[in-house]
Structure 1
């Protein structure tokens, strides 16, 4: 869940999570700070629409999503309650969460072969369209009993025509996925499922909004 403006986090933990969760294999003390963190990546969805015919002569620039401070990190965020943000010990994303999402957006749009160019930065002075987004939710929320979690992903995206800086489309994408357990691999699998649905919906919406399908 997004943290209400002005709310103070009880603790932004980098050492341990709640004592009643300490017995869980995935959620325990960080231990030795020198121990390398295990790195996880997410995958772009495979079943995406394909452009029939030649790509449109348009450049689409996917800007890095903006986000709140608690999500602007490569650590994997978990919320024991709505006002508490903590991180899984011993694991991280391959890059900060906004860059993880940006990478998936670029790969998904490029895989559709709908546009002549899709990238993070324009090839020349500017692109034809820019995707401007905000990553609102990207965390696992622990259930009331402390033995389950639900991953929540929410992103607001806007397509902006570079010439004239005109917003041509805007939409919020939301997905949730239950984790099979609180183990690291199960939590990451739920992140992969929820993020995949958001990226898939985003891709179809972008192609439709720009007349590519």
Structure 2
């Protein structure tokens, strides 16, 4: 390399280096967001309900792009989506919900096996569906909760035969829970309660419909 080219390369390196250093400094100075997790409920099946004979895989539910994120959704109106600043879920919402759904099925103590998608195990049923709403909202009616904020969770679930993907049953599930204040911890608590209601109903419905599709053999 000629002396002139070496000098030119050195000048470029000196010009770029401060920019890189500034970018790294900006990244390091950004405050880390607060991370939040939700919990799986432990629904109790009615007395006399038989244990499931079918093994089930829970697939990650589809979701609109605005919900398919780790950011926590605030929907002030039907036509507007915002996110809470400085707060995140520990994972993308659909992945987090799928993991909690598997845990909820386990917590019933009624399924021989319940796993998440990605396993090579042969299963009898697949639980899938759509996340229609997973957001904190401002209801139109006055006086709903101290902060005027409620969390709404809405799924449309499908139970499929794993062998041929035929639909065994389908149903919508929804819940609304008011937040006791505008603090993030109380809004997350409302998310936890609303999702817990939906997952509990979903698990018991899956148990009932799965028993119809795969009745337990006598003596088993």
| TM-score normalised by the chain length of structure 1 | 0.77
Question: Where does the alignment leave 5 or more consecutive residues of structure 2 unmatched?
Answer: 1-27
Rounded Cα–Cα distance in structure 2 between residues aligned with 1:51 and 1:205? 15
Alignment of 1:121-140 (within 5 A): 121=117, 123-124=119-120, 126-140=122-136
Contact 2:126 2:159 in 1 (8 A): yes
Question: Where does the alignment leave 5 or more consecutive residues of structure 1 unmatched?
Answer: 1-31
Rounded Cα–Cα distance in structure 2 between residues aligned with 1:75 and 1:125? 32
Rounded Cα–Cα distance in structure 2 between residues aligned with 1:61 and 1:51? 25
- Displacement of 1:57 after TM fit? 4.5
- Displacement of 1:95 after TM fit? 0.6
1:154-173 Cα deviation digits (max 9, x unpaired): 00100000223210010000
Question: Aligned in 2, Cα 1:159/1:47: closer, same or farther, shift over 3 Å?
Answer: closer
Rounded Cα–Cα distance in structure 2 between residues aligned with 1:209 and 1:39? 36
Number of aligned residues? 182
Q: Which has the higher strand share?
A: 1
Alignment of 1:160-199 (within 5 A): 160-199=160-199
Q: Which has the higher helix share?
A: 2
Residue 80 of structure 1: aligned partner: 76
Q: CA RMSD in A?
A: 2.6
1:54-102 Cα deviation digits (max 9, x unpaired): 9544320000010000000011000122211010011111111111211
1:107 has 2:99 as partner: no
Alignment partner of 2:56 out of 52, 57, 60 = 60
